[in-house]
Structure formats: C-alpha cells, structure tokens
A and B are shown apart, each in its own frame.
Chain A
Amino acid sequence: MKKIISIEMIEDGMITGESIKNKYGQVMLAENIRLESKHQKMLKMWGISSIFIMSDDEVQSEIYHDPETIEKAEEIIKEKILWTPINKFDEEIYQIVMDRILETQYS
C-alpha cells in the first residue's frame, strides 16, 4: 500500500510511492527512489507539500543481504523454479520466493 505523508515527515530511507511532479506536470523525482534529507529541502523549494511513499509492506526487500547470502538463496530458488523469468510477473514470482527465503533462513 502507498501512503501519503507531509514532506515534514520524510525520513532517510523512505521510498517514493509515486513519481513527484511539479505544477507543470514535469517529473521531479521518479517512483521507487530512496529519499534522503536533501530531497526534503528540494521538495520544499519546489513548493510540494505532500508525497506518496511506499508503506512498510512494499519496502520489505530493502533489508540488506550480502552477496554470498543472495547466492545461497538463488541456489535454493533453482530447486523450486525450473524456468527463466521472461516478463515482470515471472520476475515478481522469483522475487517473492527470494524474499521468503531471505526472511526465513537468513534473517
């Protein structure tokens, strides 16, 4: 779920839930961007008062895992998924399985 927040509430690490546009419709910041305090200042300068961010549900993969852990998880996935992802839905399935393995076995 996305939620709307005032730009005063921006914290480092929040992810934009929708692209942020100025009054002329120009995209100032794309969707899925990790926010930092500098963005808060920029948004204020552009006169933007509120933005959509991703809720915790959607940021679940942001926990950092080292490459070795990811590699081990990929080995487990190979036992479950015998095909190569060719579109965004296939990639989503792959990513959901990856989330679950990382959460249950390596967190």
Chain B
Amino acid sequence: MDSIQNIVNKINDLPTLPLVYSKLTGAIEDPHNTVENISKIISSDQASAFKILKVANSPFYGFRGKIDTISQAIFYLGFNEVSNIVLSLSVIKMFSNENSLKDYSPLDLWSHSIGVGLLARSVGMAMREKDLENYFLAGIFHDIGKLIFMVYAAKDYQQAIELAKSKKITLSEAEIELFGNDHSMAGYLLAEKWKLPASIQSTVKNHHNFKESDKGNLLLGSIYISNIYAKAIGLGNDGYSIISRPVENVWDTVKLNPGYIRSISKRIRDDFNHSIKTLLVN
C-alpha cells in the first residue's frame, strides 16, 4: 500500500497548470495590462475561448446569450472570475480521461464537484456575500485529492471505498486507515503546489472539518454544507453514498433559514444539469 507520502511524492510528477492560466494570472496582476491584452491571451487557445463563452452565457451567471466575446466576458464577469473559469476548465480537462474505478469515475467526481460549487455559490448569494468569485472554484477543487488517489493508487483506492462501505465509516476515515492521511490533505498538497489562492488551499484542506475556530469563514462554511447537501440532492457522485450530519456550529456562520436549500433544490438541479453539459460534454 502506498503511503500518503509516496503518493505526495508522485504529485511532483503531476502536470503543471496550463501555460494559458499562468500567463493569465501574471497578466491580471500587472496593473498596466489592458482588457484587450488579456483577451488575446485567452483567445490564443480557440477551443478554450469557445468553452469560456459557453460557461459565461450559462444560467449560472444569468447573462444568457449576451456575451459574445472574451472582452465582454471580462467586462461582465471580471478578470478573476474569467481566470477561475479558465482554471476550472483546465483542471477538469486534465483529469477527465483517467481510468475509472469499479463504480466511480473522474466524471462522477467532477459532477459532484460542480454540484458543490453551484450550491456553495447560491448559499453565498443567499448570505449576501459580495465576493463570490472563489465559491465555484472551491467547489471544483474541494475533492481533487480523490483524483490523486484515483490516478496514483487506483487499486488501493478501490479498497478504501470498499472498506468505507463495509465498515460504514466515512471515506476519509477509510483513507486514513489505508494511506495514513485523507483526500483533503492530498488535495491541499496539490493546491499548494499549484499555488492556488490561500482561501482555496485551506478550504480544500478543511472541507470535512468545520471547527469552532472557523467561525466567520463563509467560504469554508458554504463548501462544507454544500458538500453534504449536494449528496442529499443527488448532484453527482462522490464515491460514497452515506450522508454526514453537519456540525451544529456551522450554522453560526452560514446563517440560512432551515428549509432554504430544499426550496431552491429544483433550480439547483436544473442549473446543475445545464452546467454538466457545458463543462463536461465536449
């Protein structure tokens, strides 16, 4: 059995993020850069540019059909949101063709992650959070550690899934038993290697573990509860059918009315079906 350390060492062999994303983040950080320059960088990859426009026009953002060019996407959504779409599309593409386990494929995982991202963003909006840029991205990345296990320790990971089912323990507990650590830590190490924003790194690391000291961290709270509710609503498959009970202290941070998520679950499912087609179907 590979230990988490051996798997982590293999992370060094993982491909780096695509050049277009690194160029893009560099360009966005340069205050002298213009929308035209940044549009050119994105449009250098025609296939990606086309997909970005599809995402920007999806019901998720509410600009259906209005955005025809990358410059308009930047105008309506902002530099960071467009950059997050580029990153999401890149990482989904990078890990979509890996081998599937017995009842669990990378596309199952991406479906679940998209569901969590959509729901977390809706929770953030309901909480009147102004800065929603990282909510969807955090949803996309929260379970990336599972993909690392699927890619670098497929046989052992199948065993972890079966162990969780037979012992009725969480997948994280089974991973710790077999690998010495869980997918949250594996994902965090990758997020760190890729130099993702600090808020994304810590959300990936703690998405199963909302502590008293996390009070006020709305991004983490939204991802934490969305991870649970997405399973209840049936958005994708995270490899494990048992639904955890949210810790009570999370509701001091995510101050939703009970019943709110149920009331939006039909809309979320519609948005989810649309997003799956846009993001996962070529």
Contacts and interface: CB of A to CB of B under 8 A. Distances in A.
Give the interface residue-count category, chain A.
Answer: 20 to 34
A96 B202 CA distance: 29
Given A82-B168, A91-B258, A100-B234, A57 B266 contact: yes
B116 to A, nearest CB: 15
Given A100-B232, A100-B233, A100-B234, A92 B261 contact: yes
B245 interface: yes
By secondary structure, the A interface counts as: helix
B266 A93 contact: no
A86 to B, nearest CB: 8
B243 A1 contact: no
A97 interface: yes
Given A82-B242, A83-B245, A96 B263 contact: no
Give the interface residue-count category, chain B.
Answer: 20 to 34
A92 B232 CA distance: 10
Nearest to A89: B258
Nearest to A59: B263
Contacts of A104: 234
Interface in B247-282: 248, 251, 258-259, 261-267
A95 B241 contact: no
Contacts of A80: 241-243
B54 to A, nearest CB: 26
A58 B258 contact: no
B242 A92 contact: no
A18 interface: no
A107 interface: no
24 contacts: A1-B264, A56-B266, A57-B266, A58-B262, A80-B242, A80-B243, A81-B243, A81-B245, A82-B168, A83-B245, A89-B246, A92-B259, A92-B261, A93-B229, A93-B245, A93-B246, A96-B229, A96-B232, A96-B265, A99-B262, A99-B265, A100-B232, A100-B234, A104-B234
Given A82-B242, A99-B262, 8 more contacts: A57-B264, A57-B267, A81-B242, A88-B259, A89-B251, A93-B228, A96-B262, A104-B234
Shortest 4 CB-CB contacts between residues of A and residues of B: A88-B258, A96-B232, A83-B245, A58-B263
